[in-house]
Structure 1
Amino acid sequence: MSYADYLQLDKVLQAQRPLSHDRNEMLFIIQHQTTELWMKLILHELEGAIAAIRADALPPAFKMLARVSRVMEQLVKAWDVLSTMTPPEYSAIRPSLGTSSGFQSSQYRVIEFLLGNKNPAMLEAHRHDPARLALVDAALRAPSIYDEAIALLARRGFAIPQAVVDRDKMTATRHDADVEAAWLAVYRDPGHYWDLYELAEELVDLEDAFRLWRFRHVTTVERIIGFKRGTGGTDGVAYLRRMLDVVLFPELWHLRTAM
């Protein structure tokens, strides 16, 4: 077996098929294909971390979550490459994109759902593809990584109401005072609750990296297309800016004010 055989490079390197005659389209395609590959790894690690937390195996979960945060750093830097595309260069290839849009990325949507930003309305973008729709729908219905962390707090004896543990998993995470009280107890005695303390900080690292990824996305899109509507009919930059206000693990951020 050769290097090219192992990596199936013939398939990978033949997957870039520009539809326009503009040379900048190659950048646009490779940028998004590599992003999808990194997101595949993010999903692989997130799913492993969720299973590990559910099994009370926190050290392996820490490794996986740290890796996800490092991948997101790579994705942040990738926007620097796309930002070399100027508005006229993008305008030259935009007609070739048709109605395709990053909004339709099923992997990105699954990542958001696994992180707790649930919204059933987001399934609509995938109705045209039953297989992808099934994957996104399964992630919508499954516990997020934060749901599993809260369930772990309950198993460790913290006063988490059963209604919080059994909440509708198809809804976005909302701040809960009892959950914040549990995390606050962990932060006030990290020596006693060291593994939970480390889990909390890994989650904060993850959300920190995710916020930076989102922010860099917004600024790159605004730099290239301004406030035009997105190719898939979204509000473009206006939609992306609204997403900057989403908080995935609210209690872990709010408790810092109470410390």
Structure 2
Amino acid sequence: MSGDAGTAGTLGFGHQRTAEADGAHLSMAGEMSYGDYLALDQVLSAQHPLSDHHDEPLFIIQHQTSELWMKLILHELRGARAAIARDELGRAEKMMARVARIFVQLIQAWDVLATLTPAEYMEFRDVLGKSSGFQSHQYRAVEFILGNKNAAMLRPHEHRPAIHADLQTLLKEPSLYDVALELLKRRGLAPDEAHLGRDLTQPYRQHASVEEAWLAVYRDVGTYWDLYQLAEKLVDFEDAFRKWRFGHVTTVARIIGYRRGTGGTSGVAYLEAMLKVRLFPELWDIRTRI
């Protein structure tokens, strides 16, 4: 559109006629506008700094946009989990690929937050009180749907009954990886039944029978092409997730060092411990055996 308008500007009377014609389309009275569709009045008025410090809006917007991306991540992961359960692997892989690209956006966002220096952050850190990203219910939901479950992590959300109930449901439901293992069973690559029937509210623990099942897929790609593709999408996703976590650790260390987090966690030490968590361990271990 801008190119057409620029061309019309070189044609004298053509510019006037184009402007008049375009003007007929500029009024949005009675129509749904861009701002209406995106609810921009609500979105752009949702930033409420509690200090007069110039850099607090950066901190707020960084975390609000991350929460918006996590909302989409959860939407896609729920969809992928359901698609795998229906044997619609192509659809699930598309959703998982999208989530991996979302994490690229989230990883790059750390570079923006890293422009906040320790001295600047300390100017408004006190206004955060005990609020912390550790308390993000959407992040916890992402962890649960990926199998990194911990019932103790429900406690920060007990004061929000609807959120607490949603997290309780996710805690009890099969994870994305669990439905992938059930798929292996349906394809005759049966992981151990006791392992498949374990307590789903507990964190996932790797199992030799699962490793053997995935190894069979990787050693006969021609026969199990769709399962192989699914496995690689899972690895691609976890690769991106790990990089996001690493960026989180590095950025927090750069801004606050090793002081305790506002929410009472050990800060960087807690985040570093999370780097050791593997979501789909057998898919990493088989790489030394193929």
TM-based fold match above 0.5 = yes
Contact 1:103 1:125 in 2 (8 A): no
User: CA offset at residue 164 of structure 1?
Assistant: 1.6
- Give the TM-score normalised by the residue count of structure 1: 0.99
SS at match of 1:169: coil
RMSD: 0.7
Comparing 76-85 with 129-138, which one deviates more in the overlay?
129-138
Larger radius of gyration between Structure 1 and Structure 2: 2
Q: Aligned to 2:257, which of 226, 229, 243?
A: 226
Which whole-Å CA distance do the structure 1 matches of 2:204 and 2:164 have between them?
22
Query: Per-residue CA shift, 1:160-212, capped at 9, x if unaligned?
Result: 22112211111111111111001001001111101000000000001000000
Deviation, structure 1 residue 159: 2.6
Please state if 1:46 is matched with 2:77. yes
Give distance in 1, aligned partners of 2:191 and 2:276. Answer: 26
Displacement after TM superposition at 1:254 (Å): 0.3
The aligned runs of 1:1-259 (5 Å cut-off) are 1-259=32-290
SS of match in other structure, 1:16: coil
Q: 1:77, 1:26 → 2: CA distance?
A: 18
Q: Which moved more, 1:64-73 or 1:159-168?
A: 159-168
* C-alpha contact 1:187 1:197 (8 A) present in aligned 2: yes
Whole-angstrom CA distance in 1 between matches of 2:166 and 2:262: 23
Amino acid aligned to 2:181: I
Instruction: Count matched residues.
Output: 259
TM-score (norm 2): 0.88
Distance across 1 between alignment mates of 2:83 and 2:123:
47
Paired amino acid for 2:107: V
State the Cα deviation string for residues 205-227 of structure 1 (Å, max 9, x = none).
01000000000000000000001
Letter in 2 for 1:66: A
Q: Distance in 2 between matches of 1:76 and 1:125?
A: 26
d(CA) in 1 for partners of 2:158 and 2:33? 40
Query: Once superposed, which parts of structure 1, at least 4 consecutive aligned residues long, lie more than 2 Å away?
Result: none
Deviation at 1:128, TM superposition (A): 2.0
AA in 1 matched with 2:128: L
Check whether the contact 1:115–1:248 (CA below 8 A) recurs between aligned residues: yes
- In the alignment, the residues of structure 1 paired with residue 196 and residue 179 of structure 2 have an alpha-carbon distance, to the nearest angstrom, of 9
**Amino acid corresponding to residue 179 of structure 2 in structure 1:** E
Secondary structure of 2:35's partner? helix
What is the letter of the counterpart of residue 61 of structure 1?
A
